[in-house]
């Protein structure tokens, strides 16, 4: 049974209530997590406030050592953590082993080192003054994360917050709480002082809302949907909390005829369907220059049909279960909408049957390619967040730029071309926070990460994250000459 991690110990919700947690591969309940509420958040905040004076005074080296130790322990427990992540989320086990858990360890390792390199500015003012910037931890901060990359995104927020000297209240998604619970156990084993990190499980409109509204949580780092980001901002902004919001996307994948074709095709298969299409960076709108369109369509459909849809522990599974029944229904409803909007389903388009008696009630969807839709229809404007992509031909740079920039989102874009001048024109003109050219999901943790428009506010990653989790205080000292 999953427990909260508050003030260094594992405890149930004060109410004693629990939420059922489902295994997407089977559609069955497999564990329960605390159904916490505002009083649990208040308890966690009290513990964090009590821990802050001493934690914020630890040296960078001490924090480095503790966070590095947590990274080592995550790596040591990789098999158990990956199995838990795959069971909780429905993703292929090999993917959790290769991507999610190694990245969670890297997040701790990276910020353990980054804090030892973090520096602030000095400005010498002509005449007789020197300004320097103090970068101080904020105090108690909140981290709220989604279900698609559970431990990966949870630790991406917690690690920089702790490294910068803050105490943290963290809430994982109620849909995938298991590895967050295991992280609490790891922190206890590593000797993280009580109250420095508190993990409170529960629903968004109870625990999450209580975090947004708590006056002693001074900053919120949130990753999730645009709608929830707006709800959090509505509560937190009038309280003048610092906000980092990493929200939804509807990312364009723009393919020019001069691209490296084989590399583009293999990468586009990944950028369309990895993690069942449930990565905020997946390219769900694929624009193909007309001379290449028919060839691409033929090859892309042929390769997509070969992707094996199977249960998460099948080592050959390229696509496993989507995360929940409501999400399964939502994706299928968007496929129905695409047909109603005049789209043609080139492959997929329905729930997938996988072999094995245990998996007959699981939530599996065939990888789906749609063509023939207008760029501005709902299917091409709204986030589906599943194994569903739309392909569209284009004739000119102006046309594809207009279509690519036409959504309210602006998270990531992928561009395939060997033309250097075009690359520069597009990287300037695309309205996104992240652009990959001739690659996808090639991540360097030092780079600024985040979106524009309705995809978010603020940047994570590297020193950007450490800047977010600190307050800049300018000190101006005038001296006599």
> Which residues participate in catalysis according to the annotation?
246, 280
d(C-alpha 160, C-alpha 118), whole Å: 11
Within 355-384, which residues bind ligand NAD (CB under 6 A)? 383
Q: Residue 27 or residue 456: which is nearer to ligand NAD going by CB?
A: 456
Q: Residue 170 or residue 259: which is nearer to ligand NAD going by CB?
A: 170
Question: Three-state SS for 144?
Answer: strand
Indicate which single residue of 8, 249, 277, 410 sits in contact with ligand NAD (rule: CB under 6 A).
249
Asked if residue 69 binds ligand NAD (CB under 6 A), the reply is no
Q: Residue 166 or residue 275: which is nearer to ligand NAD going by CB?
A: 275
Indicate which single residue of 37, 246, 289, 464 sits in contact with ligand NAD (rule: CB under 6 A).
246
Virtual torsion, Cα 8, 221, 277, 35, nearest 10 deg: 50
We find the least distance from the C-beta atom of residue 473 to ligand NAD, in angstroms, to be 29
Asked if residue 225 binds ligand NAD (CB under 6 A), the reply is yes
**Binding map of ligand NAD across residues 162-191, x = CB under 6 A, - = no contact:** ---------x-xx-----------------
Asked if residue 251 binds ligand NAD (CB under 6 A), the reply is no
Indicate which single residue of 144, 321, 384, 413 sits in contact with ligand NAD (rule: CB under 6 A).
144
Asked if residue 451 binds ligand NAD (CB under 6 A), the reply is yes
We find the least distance from the C-beta atom of residue 389 to ligand NAD, in angstroms, to be 15
Q: What is the DSSP string of 355-416?
A: SSGGGTTS--B--EEEES--TTSHHHHS---SSEEEEEEE--HHHHHHHHTTSS--SEEEEE
Q: Residue 5 or residue 293: which is nearer to ligand NAD going by CB?
A: 5
Burial class, 16, CB count within 10 angstroms (exposed 0-12 / middle 13-18 / buried 19+): exposed
Neighbouring CB atoms inside 10 A of 287's CB total: 24
d(C-alpha 145, C-alpha 160), whole Å: 14
**Binding map of ligand NAD across residues 99-128, x = CB under 6 A, - = no contact:** ------------------------------
d(C-alpha 69, C-alpha 71), whole Å: 5
**Binding map of ligand NAD across residues 203-222, x = CB under 6 A, - = no contact:** xxx--xx--x----------
Q: Residue 8 or residue 450: which is nearer to ligand NAD going by CB?
A: 450
d(C-alpha 34, C-alpha 2), whole Å: 7
Q: Residue 12 or residue 248: which is nearer to ligand NAD going by CB?
A: 248
User: Do β-strands 4-6 and 9-11 pair in parallel, antiparallel, or remain unpaired?
Assistant: antiparallel
Residue 105, H or E segment: helix 101-117
Going by C-alpha positions, the residue among 326, 304, 308 that lies closest to residue 317 is 308
Q: Residue 234 or residue 425: which is nearer to ligand NAD going by CB?
A: 234
Within 392-431, which residues bind ligand NAD (CB under 6 A)? 411
d(C-alpha 36, C-alpha 326), whole Å: 22
Output the six-digit token pair for 313: 């522990």
Indicate which single residue of 31, 86, 155, 228 sits in contact with ligand NAD (rule: CB under 6 A).
228
b/e per residue 105-118 (b: at least 16 CB within 10 A): bbbbbbbbebbeeb
Query: What residues make contact with ligand NAD under the rule CB under 6 A?
Result: 144-148, 153, 171, 173-174, 203-205, 208-209, 212, 223-225, 228, 231-232, 246-249, 280, 383, 385, 411, 451, 456
């Amino acid at each position: 049974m999953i427990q909260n991690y508050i003030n260094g110990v594992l405890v149930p919700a004060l109410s004693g209530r629990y939420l059922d947690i489902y295994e997407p591969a089977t559609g069955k309940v497999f564990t329960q997590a605390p159904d916490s509420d505002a009083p649990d958040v208040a308890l966690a905040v009290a513990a964090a406030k009590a821990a802050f004076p001493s934690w914020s005074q630890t040296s960078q080296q001490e924090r480095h050592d503790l966070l590095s130790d947590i990274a080592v322990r995550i790596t040591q427990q990789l098999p158990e953590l990956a199995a838990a992540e795959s069971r909780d989320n429905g993703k292929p086990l090999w993917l959790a082993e290769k991507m999610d858990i190694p990245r969670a360890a890297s997040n701790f390792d990276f910020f353990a080192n980054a804090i030892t390199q973090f520096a602030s500015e000095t400005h010498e003012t002509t005449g007789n003054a020197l300004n320097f910037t103090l970068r101080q931890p904020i105090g108690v901060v909140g981290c709220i994360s989604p279900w698609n990359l559970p431990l990966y995104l949870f630790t991406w927020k917690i690690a920089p917050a702790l490294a910068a000297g803050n105490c943290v209240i963290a809430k994982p998604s109620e849909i995938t709480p298991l590895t967050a619970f295991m992280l609490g156990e790891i922190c206890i084993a590593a000797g993280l002082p009580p109250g420095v990190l508190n993990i409170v499980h529960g629903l968004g409109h109870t625990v999450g809302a209580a975090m947004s509204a708590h006056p002693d949580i001074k900053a919120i780092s949130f990753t999730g949907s645009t709608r929830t980001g707006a709800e959090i901002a509505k509560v937190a902004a009038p309280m003048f909390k610092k906000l980092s919001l990493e929200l939804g996307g509807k990312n364009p994948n723009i393919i020019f005829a001069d691209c490296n074709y084989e590399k583009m095709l293999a990468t586009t298969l990944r950028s369309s369907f990895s993690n069942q299409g449930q990565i905020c960076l997946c390219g769900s709108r694929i624009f193909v220059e007309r001379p290449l369109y028919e060839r691409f369509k033929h090859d892309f459909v042929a390769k997509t049909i070969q992707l094996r849809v199977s249960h998460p522990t099948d080592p050959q599974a390229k696509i496993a279960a989507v995360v929940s029944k409501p999400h399964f229904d939502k994706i299928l409803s968007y496929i129905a909408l695409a047909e109603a909007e005049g789209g043609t389903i080139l492959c997929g388009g329905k729930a997938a049957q996988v072999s094995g008696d245990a998996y007959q009630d699981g939530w599996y969807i065939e990888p789906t390619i749609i063509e023939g839709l207008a760029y501005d229809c709902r299917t091409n404007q709204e986030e589906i967040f599943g194994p569903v992509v739309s392909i569209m031909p284009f004739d000119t740079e102006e046309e594809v730029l207009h279509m690519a920039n036409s959504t309210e989102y602006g998270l990531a874009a992928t561009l395939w071309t060997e033309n250097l001048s075009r690359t520069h024109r597009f990287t300037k003109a695309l309205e996104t926070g992240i652009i990959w050219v001739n690659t996808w999901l090639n991540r360097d943790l030092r780079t600024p990460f985040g979106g524009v428009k309705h995809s978010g506010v603020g940047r994570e990653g590297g020193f950007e994250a450490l800047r977010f989790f600190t307050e800049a205080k300018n000190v101006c000292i005038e001296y006599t000459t």
